[in-house]
Amino acid sequence: MIVYFSGTGNTYHAARTVAAVTGDELYRIGFDDVPTSDSVIGIFSPVYFYGLPADVIECLKGIKASGAEYVYLFLTCGGSDGMAAKSASKYLGRLDAVYDAMMPDNYIKAYDVPSQDRIAKLLCSADFEIAGAAEKIKSLARGDFRCHAGGEMLYLALRPLYKPLGRQTSCFETTDSCIGCGECVANCPSHAILMRCGKPVWIKQYCSGCLGCINRCPERAIQCGVSTKKRGRYIHPDYKE
Ligand SMILES: Cc1cc2nc3c(=O)[nH]c(=O)nc-3n(C[C@H](O)[C@H](O)[C@H](O)COP(=O)(O)O)c2cc1C
């Protein structure tokens, strides 16, 4: 099985590309009932604050990896992986292989999205990395195959900020452009948003912080403070289909 978490589609793209090669079934964290075990277990996750998203950690706690033939992790990141693989190994009790791909950074709370040109180049090189990983995964290769390892010190410095900065929902607000389409509610893996009187309301204090709501809003009607007003939005082409 392939279990994945994705806010803006990068990790979904990696998971579906590998699944097309291996024939494994896809399970989306937050939406599907993830089986507790399988003979081949692939976890696909973005890197958040140099570690794993909160919803991924919760899911890993429920997976029994000890009896599996092959357990691997695939990370997508905007720069480097930090301690995400170590964290997954801790929760799963083992990891037979680790892969990664660098993809466009979707953390628009802090940075603007890359230029269209840069996005095209990143997606092209990521596809190369994903295709190489897929062949290795198919042959159940064992080892650390990451190209973007590093950032362990950044984990120590920045991970403590994940909850107060990355996961707080209080910064989100909708503008008058909101048409009440409910896309943000339907796509939230943390189920942190509800429609009230035709408008989205963040009902949980903390979510995983995937930024799917703000990046995927078709009307650009969600903001997180003043900084995101001037910034672009990012969605992988697979999520635009
Ligand atoms: C809350 C948050 C924190 C992030 N932290 C990191 C990080 O520490 N290191 C990094 O390389 N990329 C970081 N990113 C970028 C994502 O890992 C990257 O864009 C990923 O491919 C997004 O996957 P998705 O499109 O499947 O959601 C962060 C993104 C978010 C939303």
> Does ligand 1 have an atom closer than 6 angstroms to the CB of 119?
no
Ligand 1 atom nearest residue 154's Cα: 8
CA distances from 86 to 20, 54, 152, 173, 176 (A): 27, 15, 10, 35, 44
**DSSP alpha helices (H): ranges in the chain?**
10-22, 54-61, 84-92, 116-138, 152-158, 183-187, 212-216, 237-240
What does the pLDDT look like over 106-153, one tens digit per residue?
A: 999 999 999 999 999 999 999 999 999 999 999 999 999 999 999 999
Q: Which class would CATH give 163-240?
A: alpha beta
Ligand 1 atom nearest residue 12's Cα: 26
- In this structure, CATH architecture of domain 2-160: 3-Layer(aba) Sandwich (3.40)
What does the pLDDT look like over 30-61, one tens digit per residue?
A: 999 999 999 999 999 999 999 999 999 999 99
What is the DSSP secondary-structure string of 188-224? -TT--EEEETTEEEE-SSB-----HHHHH-TT--EEE
- Which residue, 148, 152, 146, 145, is CA-closest to 50? 152
Domain ranges for the chain: 2-160, 163-240
> Does ligand 1 have an atom closer than 6 angstroms to the CB of 187?
no
Residues 18, 130 contacting (CB under 8 angstroms): yes
pTM: 0.98
> Does ligand 1 have an atom closer than 6 angstroms to the CB of 209?
yes
> Does ligand 1 have an atom closer than 6 angstroms to the CB of 79?
yes
What does the pLDDT look like over 141-187, one tens digit per residue?
A: 999 999 999 999 999 999 999 999 999 999 999 999 999 999 999 99
Ligand 1 atom nearest residue 236's Cα: 25
What φ, ψ does residue 180 adopt, rounded to 5°? Answer: 70, 35
